Amino acid sequence: MKTLNIFYIGGEWVGPSAGSTQMDIVNPATEALTGRLTLGTAEDADRAIAAARAAFASWSESSRETRIALLERIIERYRARLDDIAEAVCIEIGAPITLCKNLQAAIGLAHLEASLETLRHFEFETQHGKSYVRREAIGVAALITPWNWPLNQIVAKVAPALAAGCTVVLKPSEIAPLDAVIFAEIMHEAGTPPGVFNMIFGEGRSVGARLSSHPDVDMVSITGSTRAGVEVAMSAAPTVKRVAQELGGKSPLLILDDADLKAAVTSGVAQCMANSGQTCVAPTRMLVPRERYDEATAIAAAVANSITIGDPRDPATRMGPISNRAQYEKVQAMIRAGIEEGARVVAGGPGKPEGIAQGFYARPTVFADVRNDMKIARDEIFGPVLVMIPYDGEEHGIAIANDTEYGLAGYIASSDPERARRVAARLRVGSVRINGAMLDITVPFGGYRTSGNGREYGREGLAEFLECKSVTG
């Protein structure tokens, strides 16, 4: 039983202000209470912001070499805590231990190393004739991160912000606090200057609202639902601060008629169901040529039914529970809505998997006979649910792919590289993956439309934390 009742502010572990509340930390695989977390108040946010503001002047003027040295120390300490991080993520969100070790924990290290490499070569000043342009740290950055890939989002924001010369206040998800505390310990052990990195827990309506509205915060970077992103943007508007948002998605996998159907469908189902379907870029709409639709649905059903579900601590498990009760209930409601709309369940369905009575486990579900105007095809479900939609011809397939309010990612399956590139150019999304390609964290990541604005990763991710100043004469 863990008790998390301190925050990291100004280089020290400090207690919360009066008025703080507590919430349970629940293991989603067992529904057992594993700890208690203290949630801060607007006053705690004020203290963290003040510490970051006080540290900004010196850190923003630090040399490239100083920032490189800090990132190198963070990498060293992070590498030493990989097993601890993997264990924490497994407990708090129920991700399988193999996924936690191979991706959930490891991707944070990968982001640190990528940010370090970007910093080594980034041009903070460029000459333009008799003028030059300086790129300077924007200021104090408030970072709001989610629970589904916690280390990915924490490090993808913290590392480039520090590399840019910003000081930060991190508000991690209260659903995934264990790994965040380890990360703060790493930052402390690495000798991060006091106030450069600060971390507090709290609800969005209190701490999140204070961070986004505070006049001494110069930028907010949030990863979360589109609803949360809109609330942050509205709260930030009166102070005209920069807001970078990585929000929801309903990403299409467009399988072209020349694709290897079995390989494309198998890969698509695996990517959709990974992390219990709790991935913003998951290809949750599979678009298939109508003449091959029945074959594709049969393949998808077989793949979904073959997924090993169970104890996240078992190395054989490929899918664990949904990360919390509220999300589990939302997923169940969406599955029922799909059935009510007339979609046909070819795998999974409502309720828990057979033989599992405890935990927030959902069944890997595949819907056929789906129209793109159905709720299950329009709304982000954020669970292990795939919808399959037939299309007639390439133009029709592209039209369906783009017929969404989101625009985070798109996927294409084709045996013709030039055709795939041509179709990729027509998808209104921030990133496209072809033939099951994995995420590349050296290139920019972000969305169109209600999937957000701004970019993370690589050079563009670092540049988000910079202001441009032109000097002439």
Domains of the chain with bracketed CATH: 2-247+450-472 (3.40.605.10), 252-440 (3.40.309.10)
Give me the phi and psi of 132, to 5 degrees please: -145, 160
Describe the chain by its helix, strand, coil percentages, rounded to 5.
45, 20, 35
At residue 236, the pLDDT reads: 97
Within 88-166, strands assigned E span 125-128, 131-137, 140-144
Residue type at 264 in one-letter notation: A
Helix ranges (H only) for 325-408 are 325-341, 375-378, 394-402
Write the CA distances from 7 to 177, 248, 325, integer angstroms: 11, 29, 26
Instruction: Kindly list the strands in the beta sheet with 219-223, ordered across the sheet, starting from the edge strand earlier in the chain.
Output: 12-14, 7-9, 197-199, 167-171, 140-144, 219-223, 242-246, 452-453
* 131 and 471 Cβ atoms separated by less than 8 Å: yes
Q: Please report which helix (H) or strand (E) contains residue 386, including its range.
A: strand 385-391
pTM (two decimals): 0.97
Q: What is the pLDDT along the chain (473 residues), one digit of tens a residue?
A: 899 999 999 999 999 999 999 999 999 999 999 999 999 999 999 999 999 999 999 999 999 999 999 999 999 999 999 999 999 999 999 999 999 999 999 999 999 999 999 999 999 999 999 999 999 999 999 999 999 999 999 999 999 999 999 999 999 999 999 999 999 999 999 999 999 999 999 999 999 999 999 999 999 999 999 999 999 999 999 999 999 999 999 999 999 999 999 999 999 999 999 999 999 999 999 999 999 999 999 999 999 999 999 999 999 999 999 999 999 999 999 999 999 999 999 999 999 999 999 999 999 999 999 999 999 999 999 999 999 999 999 999 999 999 999 999 999 999 999 999 999 999 999 999 999 999 999 999 999 999 999 999 999 999 999 999 999 99
**Which is the catalytic residue, given 246, 380, 456, 464?**
246
Does the annotation count 272 as an active-site position?
A: no
At residue 1, the pLDDT reads: 82
CA distance 40 to 42: 7
At residue 466, the pLDDT reads: 98
| b/e burial code for range 212-228 (CB count within 10 A of at least 16 → b) | bbbeebbbbbbbbebeb
Does the annotation count 395 as an active-site position?
A: no
**Which is the catalytic residue, given 174, 280, 456, 464?**
280
At residue 145, the pLDDT reads: 98
**Structural tokens at position 10:** 């100004």
- Please state, as a whole number, how many other Cβ atoms lie within 10 Å of the Cβ of residue 334: 19
At residue 420, the pLDDT reads: 98
